[in-house]
Homo-oligomer: A and B are copies of this chain.
């Protein structure tokens, strides 16, 4: 068993939370800003102080490298990200990055020599707030190239992506450049759940079996606007009547009949939007998630069928288009077992679960076996300055990561 230093880890989390700290105790350290560069520099300085090597790649993904005995073997990667939402919390990203660094220091403290190298990674722009999309760093790493269209991107604050990326790379001139997408043995990431289920179940460790697929639909139902008072039922072609009937039936079946499914209507609007007029058009979005791509297809088909049928009943027409489609990802079963065994070795309960949100691990999983360790966060709250993780849960997450790292260094995946 590798022993970690609890005080050091919790102090590191405090120190990094001070970089971009907000008045309400959260963090604003958006990707490729001065705050982000300060956090990268602090990690690099801590690394150099322990004698680790520091690398970066052309996407400014940052690597803290502890050498293995055989440098020909691809490294084990562990980490997460250091950028935050504009009104983000102290743990989203930082927890996984600093837990990984704690494992690296603990290996050093123990004087353990490993066959292959272990590298802590901090991926660039996981959040995708300042520059869209999210997970830019891990995406480029998995594709081995920075998509050409990103160069022209402008930040929400007007800054150019190419300029900010160049500034960020230049801010760590001592970090040797690695090629984008070098071979990796496996990848492990600790992250807060960003949902309420671990806390509610009182279980400190989630073994993430995969990340759900996500599909978004734009739905438009068109009827005919008419006077609310003068138009009898027989003459109505009411798109909201149609849509509420369809949605109500979908709410009542999709999630209740399939615990892995997520079905959310986040946006709905009626036009012209007059209190005394039957709407002409009603628009809504649909967010559907499922770990099984076949079930995503089935749920979409069900939604199209029911909306279409209710629209026809009300004499309305329907247009439905996909605005986003992210296939699901299933993490390595071997890594899931390694994490579950690590939790057992640490004598803590763990539960197999899905991730509802994207993470860098989803993209890394395309080029190397990846696995994720979830820890509870208070009230499931994330992307929020009030985001909170109990110090004891921080330690448990890091201990399981340490144990899994040690297991993987001696194992074939």
Contact = CB atoms under 8 A, between A and B. Distances in A.
Interface of A: 193-197, 200, 212, 214, 216, 226-233, 235, 238, 240-241, 243-245, 247-249, 251-252, 255-256, 259, 262, 264-270, 273-279, 282, 285, 287, 289, 323, 355-357, 380, 382-383
A245 B256 CA distance: 15
A267 B266 contact: no
A90 B276 CA distance: 22
Contacts of A277: 264, 266
Contacts of A285: 275
Contacts of A238: 251, 264
16 contacts: A212-B229, A227-B382, A228-B264, A228-B289, A229-B262, A230-B356, A230-B380, A231-B356, A235-B380, A238-B251, A244-B244, A244-B247, A264-B276, A266-B273, A266-B275, A267-B273
Given A227-B356, A227-B357, A357-B227, A255 B268 contact: no
Which label, helix, strand, loop or mixed, suits the secondary structure of the A interface?
A: mixed
Given A216-B276, A243-B244, A268-B269, 10 more contacts: A195-B235, A229-B357, A230-B356, A240-B247, A244-B244, A244-B247, A245-B251, A265-B279, A266-B277, A267-B270
Contacts of A235: 195-197, 200, 380
B251 A278 contact: no
A267 B275 contact: yes
**Shortest beta-carbon contacts, A-B, top 7:** A229-B356, A195-B230, A230-B356, A228-B264, A248-B248, A233-B255, A275-B285
Residue among A244, A259, A262, A323 with the most chain B CB within 10 A? A244
Q: Which of A240, A243, A357 is packed against the most chain B CB atoms within 10 Å?
A: A240
A165 B366 CA distance: 75
A230 B270 contact: no
Contact of A231 (B196, B226, B243, B276): B196
Contacts of A230: 193-195, 355-357, 380, 382
Nearest to A225: B266
A228 B197 contact: no
Nearest to A194: B230
Contacts of A355: 229-230
A241 B251 contact: yes
A47 B287 CA distance: 66
Contact of A226 (B214, B267, B270, B380): B380
Contacts of A262: 228-229, 231-232
Contacts of A357: 227, 229-230
B275 A259 contact: no
Contacts of A229: 212, 214, 262, 287, 289, 355-357
Contacts of A214: 229, 276
Nearest to A265: B240
